[in-house]
C-alpha cells in the first residue's frame, strides 16, 4: 500500500509542500492529496491590489498540478482527528460534490494559513472590511467602487498590510479621503531612511495618519479610539494582523495560545510526529529564538523544510538543516512606489533601504517570484525522486496500524 500524504491548504506553503513532495518521492510509493477550499491558487500578498480594483491573473490549481501526481481535492476541511489519523472534509459546491467524507493519512501537512484578526473590537465583525482573504478583498472592492468623491476610507493597522492597503487605495482612488490609524508611529520599526520615505509617499498620496491611536470601536460611519477621537469612516478596512483558523486548536495537537501548531526545526509537530505544520498555521522558532512572523517570506522555507524532512524520513535520507532567516521586508506603496527595508536574520531593520520606483519593481518581482515558486517547488534543484525504503515503510505501517 502506498504511503498516504495529505496536505491541507493550497496557499503558498501547502502548494509548495505538495509539489515538492511529488518531485522528491516516487508515485509508486506515495499518494499525495492536496485539499483546498477554492479551485484557484490565491496570491494573498496581492489582496490589497484586488481590493483596489486590479485584476489578478487566474491560477487554477487543476492546471498548476496537472501531471504532477498530486491529487487535488476541492473541499473544506472541517476537522482533523490526529489520534485516528483522519481528516473530515465537506464538499464545496458542484465541483467537489456534497456531503462530508473522512480521508485517512499516514502523514499530514497542515497548511491552512490564516484569516483576519478582529481582536474582539466591538463593531468590527459587522462594519469592517478585511483583505486577508479573496472573498474579503472582493467585498471591499465592490464597496470602494460605490464610494463617491470625498468619502473617507479608514485603514486600521500600521503594519505591513495596513501600509500597503492605504497606499494602494489612495493611489487608485485619489478622489477619496484615505486615512491610516496606527497604534505606534508611522513605520516606527523601519530605518530612518525607510520612515522618511514612507512619510514622503503618504504625504504625496494625501493620506492622513493618526498615530499612537488605539481603535476601540467600529461603527457604520466612524471608528473611535481609546484616546477619545472619533474618526469619520464611510469604509473601515481592518488590517491589525492575522489569526489562524480554529481547526488545529480543536485537535489533540500541541498548539500555542494563538492556535498555531508547535513544531520542531523540521516542521514536525512536537506532540504528533505524523503531523507537520507550515506557513501561518505553524509556530516556528526562528533566529534569536523569536517566532517567525506570519509571512510568505518565512512561510515558503518552512514548506521546503517540511517536504524535504518528510522525504528524508521516508527514504532514509539526510534530514534538512537549513536555518530560516529574514533578508528584507518588501513593501509596496501603490504601483509606482515601494520600500525594501533590509533587516537582520531576526527581522530587525538595518540602515540600508531601497526606495522609489526601483523598490516598486523589486516588490513586483518578489510577488511574481512567490507565485513562480509554487509552480516550481524545487527551485531549480534536480527533482531526485527517491524510493521509500521497504524498512521505513514497514516500520511506519507497523507503528501506525489502526488499533
Ligand atoms: C494583503 C496582504 C499582503 C501581504 N503581503 C505580504 C508580503 O508582502 N510579504 C509576505 O511575506 N507576506 C505577505 N502577506 C502574508 C502572506 O500572504 C501569508 O503569510 C501567506 O499567504 C501564508 O501562507 P500559507 O500557505 O500559510 O496560507 P495561505 O496563503 O492563507 O493559504 C491557506 C490555504 O488554505 C485554504 N484553506 C483555509 N481554510 C481551509 C479549509 N477549512 N478547508 C480547505 N482549505 C482551506 C485557503 O483557501 C488557502 O488556499 C500578505 C498578506 C495579505 C493579506
Strands of the 338-343 sheet, one edge to the other: 328-332, 338-343, 349-355
Q: Is the CB of 74 under 6 A from ligand 1?
A: no
Q: Which CATH architecture has domain 126-238?
A: 3-Layer(bba) Sandwich (3.50)
Q: Residue 82 above 60 pLDDT? A: yes
Q: Is the CB of 103 under 6 A from ligand 1?
A: no
With cut-offs at 50, 70 and 90, classify the pLDDT of residue 349.
Answer: very high
Q: Which pLDDT value is given to residue 382? A: 54
How confident is the model over 170-192, as a mean pLDDT?
A: 98
With cut-offs at 50, 70 and 90, classify the pLDDT of residue 94.
Answer: very low
Reported as a single tens digit per residue, the pLDDT across 32-58 is 999 999 999 999 999 999 999 999 999
- Distance CA(151)–CA(178), nearest Å, equals 8
pTM of the model: 0.94
d(CA 297, ligand 1 centre) in Å: 11
Cβ atoms within 10 Å of 23's Cβ, excluding its own: 20
Q: Which pLDDT value is given to residue 91? A: 83
- Span of 2-11, 238-247, 316-325 with lowest mean pLDDT: 316-325
Q: Residue 383 above 60 pLDDT? A: no
- Burial profile 237-258: b = 16 or more Cβ within 10 angstroms, e = fewer: bbbbbbbbbebbeebebebeee
Q: Residue 124 above 90 pLDDT? A: yes
If one residue of 296, 301, 329 were mutated to test the ligand 1 pocket, choosing by the most ligand atoms within 8 A of its CB, it would be: 296
Show me where the domains of the chain are located: 3-115+242-324, 126-238
With cut-offs at 50, 70 and 90, classify the pLDDT of residue 7.
Answer: very high
Q: Residue 392 above 70 pLDDT? A: no
How confident is the model over 268-279, as a mean pLDDT?
A: 98
How confident is the model over 237-261, as a mean pLDDT?
A: 96
The protein residue whose alpha carbon is closest to atom 30 in ligand 1 is 113
d(CA 263, ligand 1 centre) in Å: 19
In the chain, % of residues over pLDDT 70:
92
Is the alpha carbon torsion for 374, 379, 380, 386 positive or negative? negative
With cut-offs at 50, 70 and 90, classify the pLDDT of residue 1.
Answer: confident
How confident is the model over 313-338, as a mean pLDDT?
A: 94
If one residue of 112, 281, 330 were mutated to test the ligand 1 pocket, choosing by the most ligand atoms within 8 A of its CB, it would be: 112
With cut-offs at 50, 70 and 90, classify the pLDDT of residue 380.
Answer: low
Query: Measured between alpha carbons, how far is residue 334 from residues 106, 144, 172, 204, 362 in Å?
Result: 45, 16, 8, 11, 13
Q: Which pLDDT value is given to residue 306? A: 97
Asked if the domains 3-115+242-324 and 126-238 are classified in one and the same CATH topology, the answer is yes
Q: Is the CB of 10 under 6 A from ligand 1?
A: yes
d(CA 49, ligand 1 centre) in Å: 15
Q: Which CATH architecture has domain 3-115+242-324?
A: 3-Layer(bba) Sandwich (3.50)
Amino acid at each position: 500500500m502506498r504511503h498516504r500524504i495529505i496536505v491541507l491548504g493550497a496557499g503558498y506553503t501547502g502548494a509548495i509542500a505538495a509539489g515538492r513532495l511529488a518531485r522528491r518521492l516516487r508515485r509508486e510509493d506515495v499518494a499525495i492529496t492536496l485539499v483546498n477550499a477554492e479551485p484557484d491558487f490565491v496570491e494573498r500578498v496581492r489582496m490589497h491590489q484586488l481590493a483596489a480594483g486590479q485584476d489578478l491573473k487566474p491560477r487554477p490549481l487543476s492546471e498548476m498540478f496537472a501531471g504532477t501526481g498530486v491529487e487535488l481535492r476541492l473541499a473544506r476541511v472541517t476537522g482533523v482527528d490526529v489520534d485516528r489519523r483522519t481528516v473530515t472534509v465537506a464538499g464545496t459546491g458542484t465541483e467537489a460534490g456534497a456531503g462530508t467524507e473522512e480521508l485517512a493519512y499516514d502523514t499530514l501537512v497542515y497548511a491552512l494559513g490564516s484569516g483576519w484578526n478582529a481582536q474582539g473590537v466591538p463593531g468590527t465583525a459587522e462594519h469592517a472590511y478585511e483583505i486577508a482573504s479573496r472573498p474579503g478583498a472582493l467585498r471591499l472592492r465592490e464597496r470602494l467602487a460605490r464610494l463617491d468623491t470625498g468619502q473617507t476610507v479608514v485603514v486600521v493597522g500600521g503594519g505591513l498590510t495596513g501600509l500597503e492597503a492605504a497606499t494602494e487605495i489612495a493611489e487608485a482612488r485619489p478622489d477619496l479621503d484615505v486615512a491610516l490609524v496606527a497604534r505606534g508611529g508611522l513605520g516606527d520599526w523601519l530605518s530612518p531612511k525607510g520612515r522618511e520615505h514612507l512619510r514622503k509617499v503618504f504625504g504625496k498620496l494625501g493620506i492622513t495618519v493618526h498615530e499612537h491611536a488605539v481603535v476601540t470601536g467600529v461603527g457604520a460611519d466612524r471608528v473611535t479610539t481609546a484616546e477619545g477621537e472619533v474618526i469619520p469612516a464611510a469604509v473601515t478596512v481592518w488590517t491589525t494582523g492575522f489569526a489562524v483558523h480554529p481547526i488545529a486548536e480543536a485537535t489533540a495537537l500541541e498548539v500555542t495560545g494563538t492556535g498555531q501548531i508547535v513544531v520542531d526545526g523540521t516542521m514536525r509537530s512536537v506532540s504528533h510526529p505524523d503531523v507537520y505544520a507550515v506557513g501561518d498555521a505553524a509556530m516556528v522558532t526562528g533566529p534569536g529564538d523569536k517566532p517567525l512572523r506570519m509571512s510568505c517570506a518565512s512561510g515558503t522555507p518552512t514548506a521546503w523544510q517540511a517536504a524535504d524532512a518528510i522525504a528524508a524520513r521516508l527514504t532514509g535520507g539526510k534530514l534538512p538543516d537549513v536555518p530560516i532567516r529574514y533578508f528584507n521586508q518588501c513593501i509596496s506603496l501603490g504601483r509606482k512606489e515601494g520600500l525594501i527595508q533590509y533587516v537582520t536574520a531576526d527581522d530587525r531593520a538595518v540602515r540600508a533601504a531601497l526606495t522609489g520606483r526601483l523598490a516598486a519593481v523589486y516588490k513586483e518581482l518578489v510577488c511574481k517570484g512567490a507565485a513562480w515558486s509554487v509552480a516550481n517547488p524545487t527551485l531549480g534543484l534536480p527533482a531526485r525522486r527517491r524510493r521509500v525504503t521497504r524498512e521505513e515503510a514497514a516500520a511506519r505501517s507497523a507503528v501506525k496500524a489502526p488499533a
